[in-house]
Amino acid sequence: MHESVYEWVGRKVAELGLAGQSCLDVGSYALPDSQKIRDLFTGDFMGIDEREGPNVDHVWPAQRAGSVGAFPVVVCTEVLEHVEDPFEAVLGLWGAMTRSGHLLLTCRGFDERGTYPPHDFPRDYWRFGRESFKALLPPRLFDSVSVEADPQFPGWFVHAQRDAPS
């Protein structure tokens, strides 16, 4: 995981007061010496990935994340570019969120700096631009969506909230 991704998730967790909430980490497989999203939370935590490995509690694809339960916080870092159908994956993430739940999403993409290079881990299908999130995270699913560029590499940090309180 890029250092900027871990720092952004940590900043959002602190800013929104989410550390004590239950969290689902979608795409939790951790490389050796990789920072773990799990370390940012003190509440119940579940890590899912499509394959077994370090930091994975259950083998479960992003598209079916809603089948594992409902969580006030769903984190999905650097996964969307690796799923064949990102729209189906977002529906899975949405389904895993409680009402008023938060989604912290990061993915590789393109911007004025260029395009992040392909990195098959295990596959690589997509690159996203800022406008992509209007289609991926529509108002019918998410009441609030904020998008910011990754300062380190071409990519995006997204905070979305389902049924956000008025």
Is the pLDDT at 164 greater than 80? The verdict is no
Lowest mean pLDDT among 6-10, 11-15, 65-69, 162-166: 162-166
- Residue 35's pLDDT is 83
What single DSSP character describes residue 120? -
pLDDT range class, residue 12, cuts 50, 70, 90: very high
Q: Which residues contact 38 (CB under 8 A, 6 or more apart)?
A: 25, 28, 45, 47, 55
Cα angle for residues 156, 76, 34 (degrees, 5° grid):
90
The mean pLDDT of 48-76, rounded to a whole number, is 94
pLDDT at 166: 64
Dihedral Cα 95, 119, 47, 134, nearest 10 deg: -20
Determine how many CB atoms are found less than 10 A away from the CB of residue 68.
17
Q: Is the pLDDT of residue 121 over 80?
A: no
Please check whether residue 158 is in contact with residue 103, taking contact to mean a CB–CB distance below 8 angstroms. yes
b (16+ CB within 10 A) / e for 19-42: eebbbbbbbbbbeeeebbbbebbe
Mean pLDDT calculated for residue range 125-140: 96
Given a cut of 80, whether residue 39 has pLDDT beyond it is yes
106: left (phi over 0), alpha (psi -120 to 50) or beta: beta
- Domain borders along the chain are 3-33+44-99+123-161
Average confidence (pLDDT) over 111-137: 93
- For residue 136, pLDDT beyond 80: yes
Mean pLDDT, range 1-24, rounded to an integer: 97
| Residue 89, both tokens | 């994956």
Identify the band that residue 135 occupies on the pLDDT scale cut at 50, 70 and 90: very high
Q: Can you give the pLDDT at residue 163?
A: 85
* Phi (first) and psi of residue 88, to 5 degrees: -65, -40
Reported confidence tier of residue 95, pLDDT bands at 50, 70, 90: very high
For the segment 158-163, the average pLDDT, to the nearest whole number, is 95
Write down the pTM of the prediction. Answer: 0.95
State mean pLDDT over 44-55: 95
Q: Domain 3-33+44-99+123-161 has what CATH class?
A: alpha beta
